[in-house]
């Protein structure tokens, strides 16, 4: 067994991050133009009226034509409240975070990409945990 307590002074070792990527059952999305936007819009649990995510969404983004985390990836976490206006980018709109997420992924690259703002919880009671 291997154990690693993560703290400010002891971040997660890259080897552990690689193992998490290898063992994960998360969706694997190509970084081809429009793929990430399409995935978030259609696979995220979003409010159909506001187009804001109701729950978190997590997936891997891989370089198109490469497969497997050993070839490089971005782990993407999308927080509740993230606004995804449509499954397609409107022509002429300025570059946004999703465009940056879809940029070329170098061989062996490992990155965590977070979209939206993390919910803030200060105590177990605040989130309804009483056990």
pLDDT tens-place string over residues 38-57: 999 999 999 999 999 999 99
**Tokens at residue 69, please?**
């985390």
Domain annotation covers residue 44: yes
Count of domains for the chain: 1
Domain annotation covers residue 3: no
SS3 (DSSP) at 123: coil
Domain annotation covers residue 130: no
pLDDT over 70 (residue 23): yes
Domain annotation covers residue 39: yes
**Tokens at residue 85, please?**
């206006």
User: 78 pairs with which residues across the strands?
Assistant: 57, 115
Average pLDDT over residues 14-34: 87
pTM of the model: 0.82
Domain annotation covers residue 93: yes
Domain annotation covers residue 101: yes
Domain ranges, residue 47: 27-117
25 vs 83, residue with greater confidence? 83
pLDDT over 70 (residue 122): no
Span 66-116, pLDDT tens digits: 877 778 999 999 999 999 999 998 888 899 999 999 999 999 899 999 999
């Amino acid at each position: 067994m291997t154990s690693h307590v993560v703290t400010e002074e002891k971040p997660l070792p890259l080897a552990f991050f690689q193992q998490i990527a290898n063992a994960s059952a998360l969706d694997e999305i190509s970084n081809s133009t429009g793929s990430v936007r399409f995935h978030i819009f259609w696979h995220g649990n979003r409010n159909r009226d506001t187009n804001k995510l109701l729950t978190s969404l997590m997936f891997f983004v891989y370089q198109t034509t490469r497969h497997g985390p050993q070839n490089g990836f971005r782990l993407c976490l999308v927080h509740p409240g993230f606004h995804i206006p449509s499954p397609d980018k409107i022509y002429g709109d300025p570059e946004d975070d999703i465009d940056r997420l879809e940029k070329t992924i170098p061989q062996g690259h490992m990155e965590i990409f977070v979209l939206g703002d993390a919910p803030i919880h200060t105590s177990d009671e605040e989130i309804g945990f009483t056990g």
